[in-house]
Amino acid sequence: MKRETAPPSDTPADADLAGFVARVIARDRRAVSQAVTELERLSLSAPALLQALQPHLGHALVAGFTGPPGAGKSTLVNAVIRELRAAGKTVAVVAVDPSSPISGGAILGDRIRMTAALDDDGVFVRSLASRGYLGGLSPAAVRVIDAFDAAGFDLILLETVGTGQNEIDVAEVADVRVVISAPGLGDDIQAMKSGLLEIADILVVNKRSAPRSATRSRFSRRPPHQAKVSRGCSKRLKPWATACAPKVPRHAAAGARAI
Ligand SMILES: Nc1nc2c(ncn2[C@@H]2O[C@H](COP(=O)(O)OP(=O)(O)OP(=O)(O)O)[C@@H](O)[C@H]2O)c(=O)[nH]1
Ligand SMILES: [Mg+2]
């Protein structure tokens, strides 16, 4: 007698998949969390899930936050979450933390700063480890963004690992690129070398209370030639933005001033 072989437990039947996708789209937190985990780990069912999510993509605006380690990316993202929630928008956050090159573990410390996400169903934060990948993101980040997009979040905030001058993968993924700098991280020579600065739609000089912030405000008033490079907005940004010229706010994420 021929024995029926059951599908591998990780591969949902079509009906199960349709039901699961319906729950993701309805922003059922457990389903969203499970979808994110499957897409992050690239489980056996991930390709079918990704395909099923495709018709539901394209609603969210993806804002990337990048900059050197400790510039204040997570603190700024936290402040932006508060502002967006006050404006009635739903927000998902993908925070990429570095993996230890020795143990492979990641501290996943970004979300500690994101207190605005606590006890709020309109916010979903997922930390990802970079797993040694260079470029500022995690290979899973794009798939996880798709899960949040399908779940109907209005905005997806993507925080990179603390980046160097050449780690600009976020430019490919985000509709709006926010580059965060802080006083004392370099002089005009660093500014001329560009790299990271060139991808900015919005260039934020954070930590206005820091001792060298007066020097940086000179830079803020007179953006360097690099800032012109990203003058255009992507098509997806236009419905959201009143202006697309690069902005250089001098800013304090910690006090949530001038967001
Ligand atoms: N004085 C001052 N400190 C700030 C400000 N924003 C952030 N900080 C502090 O700077 C430190 C680093 O802030 P984070 O938000 O973790 O910086 P980050 O860029 O996310 O750091 P990594 O993710 O590790 O690269 C923390 O101690 C913050 O409290 C600010 O506007 N002013
Ligand atoms: Mg951070």
Taking the centre of ligand 2 as the mean of its atom positions, its distance from the CA of residue 75, in whole angstroms, is: 7
Please check whether residues 75 and 159 belong to one and the same domain.
yes
102 within some domain: yes
Please check whether residues 28 and 146 belong to one and the same domain.
no
2 within some domain: no
Q: Is 184 in the pocket of ligand 1 (CB under 6 A)?
A: no
**pLDDT tens figures, 186-215:** 666 666 566 777 788 888 888 876 665 544
Please identify which residue in the block is written with the tokens 């492979």.
Answer: 104
Taking the centre of ligand 2 as the mean of its atom positions, its distance from the CA of residue 38, in whole angstroms, is: 24
Please check whether residues 68 and 33 belong to one and the same domain.
no
Please check whether residues 144 and 199 belong to one and the same domain.
yes
Taking the centre of ligand 2 as the mean of its atom positions, its distance from the CA of residue 59, in whole angstroms, is: 26
256 within some domain: no
246 within some domain: no
Please check whether residues 113 and 153 belong to one and the same domain.
yes
pLDDT at position 224: 39
Helix (H, G, I), strand (E, B) or coil at 221: helix
Q: Is 73 in the pocket of ligand 1 (CB under 6 A)?
A: yes
pLDDT at position 97: 83
**Percentage of the residues of the chain whose pLDDT score is greater than 70:** 64
158 within some domain: yes
Please give the tally of structural domains in the chain.
2
Ligand found nearest the CA of 94: 2
Please check whether residues 65 and 172 belong to one and the same domain.
yes
141 within some domain: yes
Please check whether residues 80 and 41 belong to one and the same domain.
no
Ligand found nearest the CA of 113: 1
Taking the centre of ligand 2 as the mean of its atom positions, its distance from the CA of residue 2, in whole angstroms, is: 56
Please check whether residues 44 and 96 belong to one and the same domain.
no
pLDDT confidence bin for 243, thresholds 50/70/90: very low
101 within some domain: yes
Q: Is 72 in the pocket of ligand 1 (CB under 6 A)?
A: yes
Q: Which amino acid is at 60?
A: A
Please check whether residues 50 and 67 belong to one and the same domain.
no
Read off the CATH number of the domain in which 116 is found.
Answer: 3.40.50.300
Please check whether residues 49 and 134 belong to one and the same domain.
no
Q: How many residues does the chain have?
A: 259
Task: Give the domain extent around 131.
Answer: 57-230
* Token couple for 34: 């499970």
Please check whether residues 44 and 150 belong to one and the same domain.
no
pLDDT confidence bin for 1, thresholds 50/70/90: very low
Q: Which amino acid is at 130?
A: S
Residue nearest to atom 29 of ligand 1 (CA): 254
Query: Whole-prediction pTM value?
Result: 0.79
Which is higher by pLDDT, 258 or 14?
14
Please check whether residues 36 and 107 belong to one and the same domain.
no
The contacts of residue 158 (CB under 8 Å, 6+ apart) are: 62, 63, 64, 65, 93, 94, 96, 137, 141, 145, 170, 173, 174
225 within some domain: yes
Which is higher by pLDDT, 49 or 161?
49
Q: Mean pLDDT of all residues in the chain? A: 76
